[in-house]
Amino acid sequence: MKLVKLVMLLSLFIGSESALADNSSENPKIVGASEATVKAIQAKIVQSRMATKWPAKLAPSLTDLIKKDKYGNPGVYANQGTSLTANCKGSTSEYTYVAPKACFFGDTKSKTTIVLWGDSSAGSWIPAVASAAASLKLRLAVLVAHGCGLYDWTPPGTTLNPGCEKWRAAIPKVIGDLKPTAVIASTLGMGVYSTGDETKIATAWATTFANLTKNTPTAKRIFLGSTPVANKGKSLVSCLSTQTNGQGFKNALQACSPPADGWPLALMQDSNKKSAKAANATLVDTLPWFCDLSDSNNVVCPIVVGNNLVYVDADHLSIAYATTLGSPLKEALVAASIK
């Protein structure tokens, strides 16, 4: 695919390459990986969506996702990034939600700290953000709690964990004490069904970033763009495992890969832009890291890329795939002046 065509296609969703430098009142600042990196990722995604055979060594394997780890955690949890916080979280942190405790990754000896905040979808990004932070000589403080997303917003069809409000109330002081140079935030990208939803979500993101930076107003605001998700919590991996029975691998990919089975992708991307603008945050365009954009009328986000499962369930990224995104995320953070 020619690079010019790729850039044109990207503009249909979250903004063209020219938008990276656009600080006008009409658009938020949008950053992404370099053109060369995007081109390489797109080539791999295109090749993967056309595959007709299972990878020789799928990581994680479907077996890995159904067996428990040595701590008794189910494989679906053990193979996603949120599990990396388990060793530093005590009974007074995530599980009671009253005393948030940061877990540290990246260059833990660095005097410059950045924060990753959000729900378990943000936790999915830990391998990528930790890799980028280490490369940039930054200390990464992770504050994630499953089911605790945006302030003042509960996606339709979901239930707010009862301790989330207490957890959110404590977060501004915790972040303020860390004195970060940047706050990176991400949550489950769901519930966008209409422009009315976009407006509500944008307002919630503005409230969220205002709270996250309440005690550290000079911290740069970074919004990790929402990843494609499956509809109504349906497990993409379960779909893949059942569809392969008697079908070709290519057909299974087509049946199980979002966004055909997910929320309207273009609407979600538009929502991201509006939310970043409302929150005065820099938006990281992650769409080209997941979806084949060679045909704007048939955007496919394969559940398998290379030898890696992209997801472990309906929306959480596998550690295996998230780890491959460290380099493109580093480039995006540098473009956002996080160094």
Amino acid type, 94: E
Tokens of 217: 């107003």
Locus of tokens 């990396």: 84
Q: Domain span at residue 174?
A: 3-335
Distance CA 339, CA 222 (A): 13
Percentage of the chain beyond pLDDT 90 is: 50
Distance CA 44, CA 286 (A): 15
Q: How many CB atoms lie within 10 A of CB 306?
A: 17
pLDDT digits (tens, 9 = 90+) for 159-213: 777 788 888 999 999 999 999 999 999 998 776 767 778 889 999 999 999 999 9
Task: Report the CATH number that the domain containing residue 84 is assigned in CATH.
Answer: 3.40.50.1110
**What does the pLDDT read at residue 23?**
37
Q: What is the pTM of this model?
A: 0.88
pLDDT digits (tens, 9 = 90+) for 270-279: 999 999 999 9
**What does the pLDDT read at residue 48?**
92
**What does the pLDDT read at residue 144?**
92
Distance CA 102, CA 115 (A): 9
**What does the pLDDT read at residue 232?**
56
Model confidence band, residue 7 (pLDDT cutoffs 50, 70, 90):
very low
- Highest mean pLDDT: which range of 66-70, 159-163, 299-303: 299-303
Q: Report yes or no: 230 and 261 within 8 Å, Cβ to Cβ.
A: yes
Count of alpha carbons within 13 Å of 310, Cβ hemisphere only? 28
**What does the pLDDT read at residue 262?**
60
The tally of domains found in the chain comes to: 1
Query: Is cis: bond before 60, omega within 30 of 0?
Result: yes
Q: Report yes or no: 118 and 185 within 8 Å, Cβ to Cβ.
A: yes
pLDDT digits (tens, 9 = 90+) for 85-97: 877 764 344 555 6
Distance CA 140, CA 156 (A): 31
Interior angle at CA 212, CA 29 and CA 196, nearest 5: 60
Pairing of strands 304-305, 308-309: antiparallel
pLDDT digits (tens, 9 = 90+) for 314-333: 889 999 999 999 999 999 99
pLDDT digits (tens, 9 = 90+) for 108-163: 999 999 999 999 999 999 999 999 999 999 999 999 988 888 998 877 766 777 78
Helix/strand/coil (H/E/C) assignment for every residue in 171-236: HHHHHHHHCCCEEEEECCCCCCCCHHHHHHHHHHHHHHHHHHCCCCCCCEEEEECCCCCCHHHCCH
DSSP helix/strand/coil, 254: helix
